[in-house]
Amino acid sequence: GAVVSQHPSRVICKSGTSVKIECRSLDFQATTMFWYRQFPKKSLMLMATSNEGSKATYEQGVEKDKFLINHASLTLSTLTVTSAHPEDSSFYICSAREAGTQETQYFGPGTRLLVL
Amino acid sequence: KQEVTQIPAALSVPEGENLVLNCSFTDSAIYNLQWFRQDPGKGLTSLLLIQSSQREQTSGRLNASLDKSSGRSTLYIAASQPGDSATYLCAVSWVNTGFQKLVFGTGTRLLVSP
* A14-46 per-position pLDDT tens digit: 999 999 999 999 988 888 899 999 988 788 999
Q: How confident is the model at residue B112 (pLDDT cuts 50, 70, 90)?
A: very high
Question: B42 contacts in A (CB within 8 Å)?
Answer: 109-110
Contact B80, B13 (CB under 8 A): yes
In a mutational test of the A interface, the residue from B100, B106, B108 whose CB has the highest number of chain A CBs within 10 Å is: B100
According to the model, what pLDDT value does residue A47 have?
95
Q: What is the C-alpha to C-alpha distance for residues A50 and A25, in angstroms, rounded to an integer?
A: 13
Q: What is the C-alpha to C-alpha distance for residues A47 and A58, in angstroms, rounded to an integer?
A: 6
Contact A109 B43 (CB under 8 A): yes
Q: How confident is the model at residue A1 (pLDDT cuts 50, 70, 90)?
A: low
Residue B103 Cα distances to A32, A53, B9, B15, B85, angstroms: 17, 25, 17, 31, 23
Question: A93 contacts in B (CB within 8 Å)?
Answer: 43-44
Instruction: Work out the mean pLDDT of chain A and round it to a whole number.
Output: 91
Using a 10 angstrom Cβ sphere, with 0-12 exposed, 13-18 middle and 19 or more buried, the burial of residue B44 is buried
Query: How is residue B96 annotated by DSSP?
Result: G
Inform me whether the C-beta atom of residue A103 falls under 8 Å from chain B C-beta atoms: yes
Inform me whether the C-beta atom of residue B94 falls under 8 Å from chain A C-beta atoms: no
Contact A107 B45 (CB under 8 A): yes
Q: Give me the sign of the Cα torsion angle A30, A5, A93, B55.
A: positive
Element of type H or E holding B23:
strand B19-25
According to the model, what pLDDT value does residue A102 have?
61
- pLDDT, tens digit, 9 for 90 and up, residues B72-93: 999 999 999 999 999 999 999 9
- pLDDT, tens digit, 9 for 90 and up, residues B42-52: 889 999 999 99
Number of Cβ atoms within 10 Å of the Cβ of A82: 15
Q: What is the C-alpha to C-alpha distance for residues B24 and A44, in angstroms, rounded to an integer?
A: 16
Q: What is the C-alpha to C-alpha distance for residues B45 and B98, in angstroms, rounded to an integer?
A: 21
Contact A48, A69 (CB under 8 A): yes
